[in-house]
Structure 1
Protein backbone atom coordinates (compact mmCIF):
# COMPACT_ATOMS: atom_id res chain seq x y z
CA UNK A 1 0.00 0.00 0.00
CA UNK A 2 1.26 3.44 -0.85
CA UNK A 3 2.90 5.52 1.92
CA UNK A 4 0.30 8.23 1.33
CA UNK A 5 -3.02 6.45 1.45
CA UNK A 6 -6.19 7.46 -0.34
CA UNK A 7 -9.38 7.17 1.69
CA UNK A 8 -13.00 7.12 0.59
CA UNK A 9 -15.22 7.89 3.58
CA UNK A 10 -19.01 7.98 3.37
CA UNK A 11 -21.08 10.04 5.77
CA UNK A 12 -18.04 12.31 6.03
CA UNK A 13 -19.77 15.61 6.75
CA UNK A 14 -20.36 14.99 10.46
CA UNK A 15 -19.81 12.60 13.36
CA UNK A 16 -17.44 9.69 12.98
CA UNK A 17 -17.01 10.23 9.25
CA UNK A 18 -15.86 13.79 9.81
CA UNK A 19 -13.50 12.69 12.60
CA UNK A 20 -11.96 9.97 10.43
CA UNK A 21 -11.57 12.45 7.57
CA UNK A 22 -9.73 14.95 9.74
CA UNK A 23 -7.50 12.25 11.23
CA UNK A 24 -6.51 10.97 7.78
CA UNK A 25 -5.72 14.49 6.61
CA UNK A 26 -3.62 15.13 9.72
CA UNK A 27 -1.65 11.98 8.90
CA UNK A 28 -0.88 13.42 5.47
CA UNK A 29 -3.24 11.11 3.60
CA UNK A 30 -5.69 12.08 0.87
CA UNK A 31 -9.42 11.78 1.34
CA UNK A 32 -12.47 11.66 -0.89
CA UNK A 33 -15.17 12.70 1.56
CA UNK A 34 -18.61 11.58 0.43
CA UNK A 35 -21.86 12.91 1.88
CA UNK A 36 -25.36 13.73 0.75
CA UNK A 37 -24.63 17.36 1.66
CA UNK A 38 -20.98 18.38 1.34
CA UNK A 39 -21.47 22.00 2.39
CA UNK A 40 -20.14 21.33 5.92
CA UNK A 41 -16.90 20.13 4.31
CA UNK A 42 -16.18 23.31 2.35
CA UNK A 43 -14.03 24.96 5.03
CA UNK A 44 -12.01 21.78 5.54
CA UNK A 45 -11.53 21.44 1.79
CA UNK A 46 -10.25 25.01 1.62
CA UNK A 47 -7.61 24.14 4.23
CA UNK A 48 -6.55 20.99 2.36
CA UNK A 49 -7.07 21.78 -1.32
CA UNK A 50 -4.63 19.14 -2.53
CA UNK A 51 -5.67 16.41 -0.12
CA UNK A 52 -9.45 16.57 0.24
CA UNK A 53 -12.12 16.16 -2.42
CA UNK A 54 -15.73 16.55 -1.22
CA UNK A 55 -18.00 14.19 -3.15
CA UNK A 56 -21.79 14.69 -3.17
CA UNK A 57 -23.26 11.20 -3.04
CA UNK A 58 -26.52 9.68 -1.89
CA UNK A 59 -25.73 6.09 -0.88
CA UNK A 60 -29.37 5.03 -1.35
CA UNK A 61 -29.05 5.64 -5.11
CA UNK A 62 -27.10 2.66 -6.47
CA UNK A 63 -26.22 4.25 -9.80
CA UNK A 64 -25.14 7.46 -8.05
CA UNK A 65 -22.88 5.38 -5.81
CA UNK A 66 -21.22 3.64 -8.76
CA UNK A 67 -20.77 6.97 -10.56
CA UNK A 68 -19.43 8.56 -7.38
CA UNK A 69 -16.94 5.77 -6.75
CA UNK A 70 -15.62 6.18 -10.31
CA UNK A 71 -14.98 9.86 -9.57
CA UNK A 72 -13.43 8.95 -6.22
CA UNK A 73 -11.07 6.43 -7.81
CA UNK A 74 -9.85 8.96 -10.37
CA UNK A 75 -9.53 11.87 -7.93
CA UNK A 76 -6.16 10.66 -6.62
CA UNK A 77 -5.56 7.68 -8.90
CA UNK A 78 -6.43 4.89 -6.47
CA UNK A 79 -8.37 3.87 -3.35
CA UNK A 80 -6.61 2.36 -0.36
CA UNK A 81 -9.05 2.58 2.56
CA UNK A 82 -12.83 2.67 2.13
CA UNK A 83 -14.91 3.46 5.21
CA UNK A 84 -18.59 2.52 4.90
CA UNK A 85 -19.83 4.93 7.54
CA UNK A 86 -23.00 6.62 6.26
CA UNK A 87 -25.93 5.82 8.52
CA UNK A 88 -29.15 6.99 10.10
CA UNK A 89 -31.41 6.13 13.04
CA UNK A 90 -35.02 4.98 13.05
CA UNK A 91 -36.24 5.40 16.62
CA UNK A 92 -39.42 3.71 17.80
CA UNK A 93 -41.12 0.42 18.45
CA UNK A 94 -41.36 -2.18 15.68
CA UNK A 95 -45.15 -1.92 15.47
CA UNK A 96 -45.02 1.88 15.24
CA UNK A 97 -42.76 2.11 12.20
CA UNK A 98 -44.32 2.63 8.78
CA UNK A 99 -43.30 0.71 5.68
CA UNK A 100 -41.86 3.89 4.20
CA UNK A 101 -39.75 4.56 7.31
CA UNK A 102 -38.44 1.00 7.46
CA UNK A 103 -37.50 0.83 3.78
CA UNK A 104 -35.87 4.28 3.87
CA UNK A 105 -33.86 3.28 6.92
CA UNK A 106 -32.60 0.03 5.41
CA UNK A 107 -31.79 1.86 2.17
CA UNK A 108 -29.22 3.94 4.08
CA UNK A 109 -27.89 1.59 6.74
CA UNK A 110 -27.78 -1.65 4.78
CA UNK A 111 -28.32 -1.31 1.04
CA UNK A 112 -26.26 1.90 0.82
CA UNK A 113 -23.26 0.16 2.38
CA UNK A 114 -23.71 -2.80 0.03
CA UNK A 115 -23.77 -0.52 -3.01
CA UNK A 116 -20.53 1.16 -1.89
CA UNK A 117 -18.86 -2.22 -1.34
CA UNK A 118 -19.96 -3.50 -4.73
CA UNK A 119 -18.74 -0.33 -6.43
CA UNK A 120 -15.27 -0.22 -4.84
CA UNK A 121 -14.39 -3.91 -5.08
CA UNK A 122 -13.40 -3.92 -8.77
CA UNK A 123 -10.96 -1.06 -8.10
CA UNK A 124 -9.44 -2.73 -5.04
CA UNK A 125 -9.24 -6.09 -6.81
CA UNK A 126 -7.42 -4.53 -9.78
CA UNK A 127 -4.92 -2.96 -7.38
CA UNK A 128 -4.45 -6.28 -5.60
CA UNK A 129 -4.91 -4.62 -2.22
CA UNK A 130 -7.17 -2.40 -0.18
CA UNK A 131 -9.05 -2.03 3.08
CA UNK A 132 -12.82 -1.98 3.54
CA UNK A 133 -13.97 -0.84 6.97
CA UNK A 134 -17.63 -1.61 7.63
CA UNK A 135 -19.11 0.53 10.40
CA UNK A 136 -21.70 -1.48 12.33
CA UNK A 137 -22.52 -1.25 16.02
CA UNK A 138 -21.69 -2.74 19.39
CA UNK A 139 -25.38 -3.73 19.47
CA UNK A 140 -25.42 -5.57 16.15
CA UNK A 141 -25.45 -8.91 17.95
CA UNK A 142 -28.93 -8.42 19.39
CA UNK A 143 -31.99 -6.19 19.25
CA UNK A 144 -33.23 -3.66 21.79
CA UNK A 145 -36.57 -1.91 22.16
CA UNK A 146 -36.92 1.43 20.29
CA UNK A 147 -33.82 0.82 18.14
CA UNK A 148 -34.77 -2.53 16.64
CA UNK A 149 -34.50 -1.42 13.03
CA UNK A 150 -31.15 0.29 13.60
CA UNK A 151 -29.86 -2.97 15.10
CA UNK A 152 -31.42 -4.96 12.26
CA UNK A 153 -29.67 -2.91 9.58
CA UNK A 154 -26.33 -3.15 11.37
CA UNK A 155 -26.77 -6.87 11.99
CA UNK A 156 -27.48 -7.43 8.31
CA UNK A 157 -24.38 -5.45 7.35
CA UNK A 158 -22.42 -7.36 9.97
CA UNK A 159 -23.40 -10.73 8.47
CA UNK A 160 -22.83 -9.67 4.87
CA UNK A 161 -19.43 -8.25 5.82
CA UNK A 162 -18.35 -11.58 7.32
CA UNK A 163 -19.24 -13.27 4.03
CA UNK A 164 -17.59 -10.51 2.02
CA UNK A 165 -14.36 -10.84 3.99
CA UNK A 166 -14.14 -14.52 3.01
CA UNK A 167 -14.95 -13.77 -0.61
CA UNK A 168 -12.36 -11.05 -1.23
CA UNK A 169 -9.38 -11.90 0.98
CA UNK A 170 -7.76 -13.90 -1.84
CA UNK A 171 -7.63 -10.66 -3.86
CA UNK A 172 -5.59 -8.87 -1.19
CA UNK A 173 -8.63 -7.00 0.15
CA UNK A 174 -9.00 -6.88 3.94
CA UNK A 175 -12.46 -6.34 5.45
CA UNK A 176 -12.89 -5.24 9.06
CA UNK A 177 -16.21 -4.87 10.84
CA UNK A 178 -16.06 -1.87 13.19
CA UNK A 179 -18.47 -2.43 16.07
CA UNK A 180 -18.73 1.17 17.18
CA UNK A 181 -19.79 2.26 20.63
CA UNK A 182 -22.04 5.21 21.39
CA UNK A 183 -20.25 8.36 20.29
CA UNK A 184 -21.56 11.92 20.15
CA UNK A 185 -22.24 11.83 16.41
CA UNK A 186 -25.60 13.60 16.21
CA UNK A 187 -27.19 10.30 15.18
CA UNK A 188 -30.00 10.72 17.72
CA UNK A 189 -30.71 14.28 16.57
CA UNK A 190 -30.02 15.27 12.97
CA UNK A 191 -29.75 11.64 11.84
CA UNK A 192 -32.95 10.37 13.44
CA UNK A 193 -36.40 9.56 12.12
CA UNK A 194 -38.89 9.05 14.96
CA UNK A 195 -42.02 6.95 14.73
CA UNK A 196 -45.43 8.16 15.84
CA UNK A 197 -45.88 6.62 19.28
CA UNK A 198 -48.74 4.28 20.09
CA UNK A 199 -50.23 4.82 23.58
CA UNK A 200 -49.81 1.13 24.43
CA UNK A 201 -46.04 1.54 24.31
CA UNK A 202 -45.76 4.80 26.24
CA UNK A 203 -44.63 3.15 29.52
CA UNK A 204 -41.84 1.31 27.68
CA UNK A 205 -40.91 4.48 25.79
CA UNK A 206 -40.51 6.23 29.12
CA UNK A 207 -38.39 3.37 30.50
CA UNK A 208 -36.13 3.32 27.47
CA UNK A 209 -35.66 7.09 27.43
CA UNK A 210 -34.61 6.93 31.08
CA UNK A 211 -32.20 4.11 30.27
CA UNK A 212 -30.62 5.99 27.36
CA UNK A 213 -30.23 9.08 29.57
CA UNK A 214 -28.92 12.44 28.45
CA UNK A 215 -25.24 11.52 28.08
CA UNK A 216 -24.10 12.20 24.52
CA UNK A 217 -21.14 9.83 24.70
CA UNK A 218 -17.48 10.51 23.89
CA UNK A 219 -16.55 12.82 21.03
CA UNK A 220 -16.00 11.07 17.67
CA UNK A 221 -12.39 12.19 17.41
CA UNK A 222 -11.54 9.94 20.36
CA UNK A 223 -12.26 6.93 18.13
CA UNK A 224 -10.14 8.17 15.24
CA UNK A 225 -6.73 6.96 16.56
CA UNK A 226 -8.10 3.40 16.64
CA UNK A 227 -9.09 3.59 12.98
CA UNK A 228 -5.75 5.11 11.97
CA UNK A 229 -3.81 2.35 13.73
CA UNK A 230 -6.13 -0.31 12.29
CA UNK A 231 -5.62 0.98 8.75
CA UNK A 232 -1.85 0.65 9.16
CA UNK A 233 -1.89 -2.98 10.32
CA UNK A 234 -0.54 -5.45 7.73
CA UNK A 235 -2.94 -8.14 8.96
CA UNK A 236 -5.99 -6.40 10.46
CA UNK A 237 -8.68 -8.23 12.44
CA UNK A 238 -11.94 -9.14 10.72
CA UNK A 239 -13.88 -7.63 13.62
CA UNK A 240 -13.03 -4.88 16.11
CA UNK A 241 -15.01 -3.35 18.98
CA UNK A 242 -14.26 0.38 19.13
CA UNK A 243 -14.62 1.75 22.64
CA UNK A 244 -13.49 0.58 26.08
CA UNK A 245 -16.98 0.58 27.63
CA UNK A 246 -18.39 -0.98 24.50
CA UNK A 247 -15.83 -3.78 24.70
CA UNK A 248 -17.10 -4.68 28.17
CA UNK A 249 -20.75 -4.45 27.08
CA UNK A 250 -20.26 -6.67 24.02
CA UNK A 251 -18.45 -9.34 26.04
CA UNK A 252 -21.18 -9.22 28.66
CA UNK A 253 -23.90 -9.58 26.01
CA UNK A 254 -22.03 -12.49 24.44
CA UNK A 255 -21.73 -14.22 27.80
CA UNK A 256 -25.41 -13.68 28.57
CA UNK A 257 -26.34 -15.22 25.23
CA UNK A 258 -24.02 -18.19 25.82
CA UNK A 259 -25.57 -18.70 29.28
CA UNK A 260 -29.04 -18.68 27.72
CA UNK A 261 -28.04 -21.33 25.18
CA UNK A 262 -26.58 -23.51 27.95
CA UNK A 263 -29.67 -23.19 30.12
CA UNK A 264 -31.79 -24.71 27.33
CA UNK A 265 -29.19 -27.12 26.00
CA UNK A 266 -31.30 -30.11 27.10
CA UNK A 267 -34.15 -29.01 24.85
CA UNK A 268 -31.86 -28.20 21.91
CA UNK A 269 -30.25 -31.64 21.99
CA UNK A 270 -33.55 -33.51 21.69
CA UNK A 271 -33.42 -32.81 17.93
CA UNK A 272 -30.66 -34.63 16.00
CA UNK A 273 -29.96 -31.87 13.42
Structure 2
Protein backbone atom coordinates (compact mmCIF):
# COMPACT_ATOMS: atom_id res chain seq x y z
CA UNK A 1 0.00 0.00 0.00
CA UNK A 2 1.27 3.46 -0.89
CA UNK A 3 2.70 5.50 1.96
CA UNK A 4 2.71 9.22 2.58
CA UNK A 5 6.25 10.38 3.27
CA UNK A 6 7.58 13.77 4.32
CA UNK A 7 11.27 14.19 3.50
CA UNK A 8 13.31 17.27 4.33
CA UNK A 9 16.31 18.42 2.35
CA UNK A 10 15.02 16.91 -0.89
CA UNK A 11 16.76 19.36 -3.20
CA UNK A 12 19.90 17.26 -3.70
CA UNK A 13 21.93 14.28 -2.53
CA UNK A 14 20.26 11.52 -0.56
CA UNK A 15 17.04 13.51 -0.23
CA UNK A 16 16.53 13.89 -3.97
CA UNK A 17 17.55 10.27 -4.70
CA UNK A 18 15.22 8.79 -2.10
CA UNK A 19 12.31 11.07 -2.98
CA UNK A 20 12.53 9.99 -6.61
CA UNK A 21 12.74 6.29 -5.72
CA UNK A 22 9.70 6.55 -3.44
CA UNK A 23 7.71 8.37 -6.11
CA UNK A 24 8.69 5.83 -8.76
CA UNK A 25 7.16 3.04 -6.72
CA UNK A 26 3.93 4.96 -6.14
CA UNK A 27 4.31 6.59 -2.73
CA UNK A 28 3.06 10.11 -2.06
CA UNK A 29 5.98 12.35 -1.17
CA UNK A 30 5.98 15.77 0.45
CA UNK A 31 9.42 17.09 -0.45
CA UNK A 32 10.88 20.14 1.26
CA UNK A 33 13.63 22.50 0.18
CA UNK A 34 14.64 26.06 0.96
CA UNK A 35 14.30 26.86 -2.77
CA UNK A 36 11.23 25.36 -4.47
CA UNK A 37 12.88 25.62 -7.89
CA UNK A 38 15.16 22.77 -6.81
CA UNK A 39 12.09 20.49 -6.77
CA UNK A 40 10.77 21.40 -10.23
CA UNK A 41 12.17 18.23 -11.83
CA UNK A 42 10.25 16.05 -9.38
CA UNK A 43 7.02 17.99 -10.00
CA UNK A 44 7.42 17.74 -13.77
CA UNK A 45 7.97 13.99 -13.62
CA UNK A 46 5.53 12.94 -10.90
CA UNK A 47 2.80 15.58 -10.86
CA UNK A 48 0.35 15.49 -7.96
CA UNK A 49 2.11 12.60 -6.22
CA UNK A 50 4.81 15.03 -5.12
CA UNK A 51 3.92 17.93 -2.85
CA UNK A 52 6.72 20.55 -2.87
CA UNK A 53 7.03 22.63 0.30
CA UNK A 54 9.37 25.52 0.93
CA UNK A 55 10.91 25.01 4.34
CA UNK A 56 13.76 26.34 6.42
CA UNK A 57 14.01 23.62 9.06
CA UNK A 58 15.43 26.06 11.60
CA UNK A 59 12.08 27.89 11.64
CA UNK A 60 9.86 26.03 14.10
CA UNK A 61 6.71 27.75 12.89
CA UNK A 62 7.39 26.77 9.29
CA UNK A 63 7.95 23.18 10.38
CA UNK A 64 4.57 22.97 12.11
CA UNK A 65 2.88 24.61 9.12
CA UNK A 66 4.53 22.11 6.76
CA UNK A 67 3.36 19.10 8.76
CA UNK A 68 -0.20 20.46 8.78
CA UNK A 69 -0.07 21.05 5.03
CA UNK A 70 0.97 17.44 4.44
CA UNK A 71 -1.74 16.02 6.68
CA UNK A 72 -4.43 18.30 5.23
CA UNK A 73 -3.50 17.29 1.69
CA UNK A 74 -3.06 13.54 2.09
CA UNK A 75 -5.05 12.76 5.24
CA UNK A 76 -2.19 10.80 6.80
CA UNK A 77 1.51 11.00 7.51
CA UNK A 78 3.20 7.61 7.55
CA UNK A 79 6.91 8.43 7.46
CA UNK A 80 9.12 11.40 8.25
CA UNK A 81 12.66 11.33 6.84
CA UNK A 82 14.73 13.99 8.58
CA UNK A 83 17.40 14.42 5.94
CA UNK A 84 18.16 18.16 5.94
CA UNK A 85 21.63 18.93 7.25
CA UNK A 86 25.16 19.93 6.35
CA UNK A 87 28.70 19.85 7.72
CA UNK A 88 31.05 22.46 9.14
CA UNK A 89 34.70 21.70 8.40
CA UNK A 90 37.30 23.02 10.81
CA UNK A 91 39.25 22.17 13.94
CA UNK A 92 37.38 22.85 17.16
CA UNK A 93 39.51 25.94 17.82
CA UNK A 94 38.82 27.33 14.34
CA UNK A 95 35.02 27.28 14.34
CA UNK A 96 33.33 30.59 15.01
CA UNK A 97 30.34 31.06 17.30
CA UNK A 98 28.11 31.78 14.33
CA UNK A 99 29.25 28.63 12.50
CA UNK A 100 28.80 26.46 15.59
CA UNK A 101 25.32 27.78 16.37
CA UNK A 102 24.19 27.46 12.76
CA UNK A 103 25.42 23.86 12.66
CA UNK A 104 23.36 22.98 15.73
CA UNK A 105 20.36 24.97 14.51
CA UNK A 106 20.14 22.99 11.27
CA UNK A 107 21.29 19.51 12.27
CA UNK A 108 19.81 19.28 15.77
CA UNK A 109 17.06 21.83 16.25
CA UNK A 110 15.89 21.54 12.65
CA UNK A 111 15.33 17.82 13.18
CA UNK A 112 13.66 18.45 16.53
CA UNK A 113 11.17 21.01 15.23
CA UNK A 114 9.82 18.97 12.31
CA UNK A 115 9.68 15.88 14.52
CA UNK A 116 7.64 17.72 17.12
CA UNK A 117 5.40 18.92 14.30
CA UNK A 118 4.54 15.44 12.96
CA UNK A 119 4.17 13.64 16.28
CA UNK A 120 0.59 14.77 17.05
CA UNK A 121 -0.61 13.32 13.72
CA UNK A 122 1.27 10.07 14.20
CA UNK A 123 0.01 9.71 17.77
CA UNK A 124 -3.56 10.22 16.59
CA UNK A 125 -3.03 7.59 13.86
CA UNK A 126 -1.32 5.28 16.37
CA UNK A 127 1.29 4.63 13.71
CA UNK A 128 4.28 6.21 12.01
CA UNK A 129 7.98 5.94 11.38
CA UNK A 130 10.49 8.70 12.04
CA UNK A 131 13.74 8.16 10.16
CA UNK A 132 16.50 10.46 11.35
CA UNK A 133 19.56 10.75 9.13
CA UNK A 134 22.52 10.73 11.45
CA UNK A 135 26.05 9.60 10.54
CA UNK A 136 28.68 7.14 11.64
CA UNK A 137 30.24 10.35 12.97
CA UNK A 138 27.52 10.29 15.59
CA UNK A 139 29.14 7.07 16.86
CA UNK A 140 32.83 7.89 16.47
CA UNK A 141 34.72 11.02 15.49
CA UNK A 142 37.08 12.32 12.85
CA UNK A 143 39.38 15.34 13.29
CA UNK A 144 38.48 18.72 11.78
CA UNK A 145 34.77 17.86 11.97
CA UNK A 146 34.28 18.40 15.68
CA UNK A 147 31.15 20.57 15.56
CA UNK A 148 29.54 18.32 12.96
CA UNK A 149 30.45 15.26 15.06
CA UNK A 150 28.87 16.97 18.08
CA UNK A 151 25.65 17.68 16.19
CA UNK A 152 25.30 14.04 15.21
CA UNK A 153 26.13 12.80 18.72
CA UNK A 154 23.31 15.09 19.92
CA UNK A 155 20.95 13.68 17.30
CA UNK A 156 21.79 10.13 18.40
CA UNK A 157 20.88 10.86 22.01
CA UNK A 158 17.75 12.81 21.14
CA UNK A 159 16.23 10.21 18.83
CA UNK A 160 17.24 7.20 20.90
CA UNK A 161 15.31 8.84 23.73
CA UNK A 162 12.38 9.59 21.42
CA UNK A 163 12.14 5.91 20.50
CA UNK A 164 11.46 5.01 24.15
CA UNK A 165 8.82 7.73 24.46
CA UNK A 166 6.68 7.02 21.39
CA UNK A 167 6.79 3.23 21.19
CA UNK A 168 3.45 2.93 23.01
CA UNK A 169 1.81 5.00 20.26
CA UNK A 170 2.88 2.58 17.52
CA UNK A 171 5.56 4.98 16.27
CA UNK A 172 8.95 3.61 15.24
CA UNK A 173 12.21 5.57 15.23
CA UNK A 174 15.32 4.73 13.21
CA UNK A 175 18.69 6.45 13.19
CA UNK A 176 20.30 5.99 9.77
CA UNK A 177 24.09 6.26 9.98
CA UNK A 178 25.83 6.56 6.59
CA UNK A 179 29.57 6.44 6.22
CA UNK A 180 31.09 8.73 3.60
CA UNK A 181 29.34 8.92 0.22
CA UNK A 182 30.03 10.59 -3.10
CA UNK A 183 27.54 13.40 -2.56
CA UNK A 184 28.01 17.16 -2.47
CA UNK A 185 28.17 17.03 1.34
CA UNK A 186 31.86 18.01 1.40
CA UNK A 187 31.49 20.36 -1.57
CA UNK A 188 29.27 23.40 -1.99
CA UNK A 189 26.91 22.13 0.72
CA UNK A 190 29.63 22.42 3.36
CA UNK A 191 30.85 25.32 5.45
CA UNK A 192 34.55 25.84 6.10
CA UNK A 193 35.94 27.65 9.12
CA UNK A 194 38.71 30.22 8.82
CA UNK A 195 41.91 28.11 9.03
CA UNK A 196 44.66 28.45 11.61
CA UNK A 197 48.18 27.56 10.48
CA UNK A 198 48.68 25.41 13.59
CA UNK A 199 46.36 22.74 12.16
CA UNK A 200 47.80 22.59 8.65
CA UNK A 201 49.84 19.42 9.29
CA UNK A 202 46.84 17.64 10.81
CA UNK A 203 44.62 18.54 7.88
CA UNK A 204 47.20 17.48 5.33
CA UNK A 205 47.69 14.13 7.07
CA UNK A 206 43.94 13.60 7.25
CA UNK A 207 43.53 14.51 3.58
CA UNK A 208 46.38 12.23 2.49
CA UNK A 209 44.95 9.30 4.43
CA UNK A 210 41.59 9.68 2.71
CA UNK A 211 40.85 6.70 0.46
CA UNK A 212 38.34 7.27 -2.37
CA UNK A 213 37.20 3.64 -2.02
CA UNK A 214 35.83 4.53 1.41
CA UNK A 215 33.08 6.59 -0.19
CA UNK A 216 29.92 4.77 -1.23
CA UNK A 217 27.71 5.37 -4.26
CA UNK A 218 24.64 7.38 -3.15
CA UNK A 219 22.17 5.62 -5.45
CA UNK A 220 23.16 2.28 -3.91
CA UNK A 221 21.42 3.30 -0.66
CA UNK A 222 17.95 3.28 -2.21
CA UNK A 223 17.12 -0.39 -1.66
CA UNK A 224 18.19 -0.17 1.97
CA UNK A 225 15.94 2.84 2.60
CA UNK A 226 12.97 1.18 0.89
CA UNK A 227 13.46 -1.99 2.96
CA UNK A 228 13.69 0.12 6.10
CA UNK A 229 10.47 1.95 5.32
CA UNK A 230 8.65 -1.30 4.58
CA UNK A 231 9.93 -3.22 7.62
CA UNK A 232 7.17 -4.09 10.12
CA UNK A 233 9.68 -3.80 12.97
CA UNK A 234 12.43 -1.43 11.78
CA UNK A 235 15.69 -1.26 13.76
CA UNK A 236 16.62 1.64 15.99
CA UNK A 237 19.89 2.02 14.07
CA UNK A 238 20.96 1.23 10.51
CA UNK A 239 24.47 1.84 9.17
CA UNK A 240 24.76 2.55 5.45
CA UNK A 241 27.97 1.54 3.71
CA UNK A 242 30.68 -1.04 4.32
CA UNK A 243 33.13 1.27 6.11
CA UNK A 244 30.91 2.27 9.01
CA UNK A 245 30.46 -1.03 10.82
CA UNK A 246 34.20 -1.89 11.18
CA UNK A 247 34.85 1.64 12.43
CA UNK A 248 32.03 1.47 14.97
CA UNK A 249 33.08 -1.99 16.15
CA UNK A 250 36.71 -0.93 16.70
CA UNK A 251 35.60 2.23 18.52
CA UNK A 252 33.33 0.39 20.94
CA UNK A 253 35.87 -2.33 21.59
CA UNK A 254 38.36 0.37 22.55
CA UNK A 255 35.83 2.13 24.77
CA UNK A 256 34.87 -1.08 26.54
CA UNK A 257 38.53 -1.90 27.14
CA UNK A 258 39.08 1.54 28.68
CA UNK A 259 36.01 1.31 30.90
CA UNK A 260 37.03 -2.19 31.97
CA UNK A 261 40.52 -1.07 32.96
CA UNK A 262 39.12 1.80 35.05
CA UNK A 263 36.08 0.01 36.49
CA UNK A 264 37.50 -0.19 40.03
CA UNK A 265 38.07 3.55 40.09
CA UNK A 266 34.54 4.01 38.74
CA UNK A 267 33.07 1.79 41.47
CA UNK A 268 34.94 3.64 44.24
CA UNK A 269 33.47 6.89 42.93
CA UNK A 270 29.98 5.58 43.75
CA UNK A 271 30.71 6.13 47.44
CA UNK A 272 28.80 3.19 48.90
1:147-176 deviations in Å (ceiling 9; x for gaps): 111111011011010111111111111111
Give the match for residue 50 of structure 1.
48
User: SS at 1:240's partner residue?
Assistant: strand
User: SS at 1:142's partner residue?
Assistant: coil
Match of residue 208, structure 1, among 206, 220, 223: 206
**Contact residue 8 and residue 82 of structure 2 kept, 8 A:** yes
Indicate whether 1:34 and 2:23 are aligned: no
Q: C-alpha separation between the residues in 2 aligned to 1:259 and 1:218?
A: 30
Give the match for residue 195 of structure 1.
193
Deviates more, 1:230-239 or 1:261-270: 261-270
Unaligned runs of 5+ in 2: none
Give the match for residue 264 of structure 1.
262
Match of residue 133, structure 1, among 126, 131, 136: 131
1:234-263 deviations in Å (ceiling 9; x for gaps): 111111112222122212221122122223
**Contact residue 139 and residue 250 of structure 1 kept, 8 A:** no
5 Å-filtered alignment, 1:64-143, equals 64-143=62-141
Give the match for residue 181 of structure 2.
183
Give the match for residue 14 of structure 1.
12
Unaligned runs of 5+ in 1: none
Q: C-alpha separation between the residues in 2 aligned to 1:225 and 1:38?
A: 27
Q: C-alpha separation between the residues in 1 aligned to 2:217 and 2:35?
A: 21
Query: C-alpha displacement at 1:72, in angstroms?
Result: 1.9
**Contact residue 184 and residue 216 of structure 1 kept, 8 A:** no
1:87-135 deviations in Å (ceiling 9; x for gaps): 0110001111110110011110000000010000011111110100011
Give the match for residue 231 of structure 1.
229
Number of equivalences: 271
User: SS at 1:117's partner residue?
Assistant: helix
User: SS at 1:159's partner residue?
Assistant: helix
Q: C-alpha separation between the residues in 1 aligned to 2:249 and 2:211?
A: 22
Deviates more, 1:53-62 or 1:37-46: 37-46
CA RMSD in angstroms, aligned pairs only = 1.5
**Contact residue 90 and residue 101 of structure 1 kept, 8 A:** yes
Q: C-alpha separation between the residues in 1 aligned to 2:60 and 2:78?
A: 21
**Contact residue 96 and residue 197 of structure 1 kept, 8 A:** yes
Q: C-alpha separation between the residues in 2 aligned to 1:108 and 1:6?
A: 24
User: SS at 1:250's partner residue?
Assistant: helix
Query: C-alpha displacement at 1:71, in angstroms?
Result: 1.2
Deviates more, 1:254-263 or 1:20-29: 254-263
Q: C-alpha separation between the residues in 1 aligned to 2:142 and 2:268?
A: 30
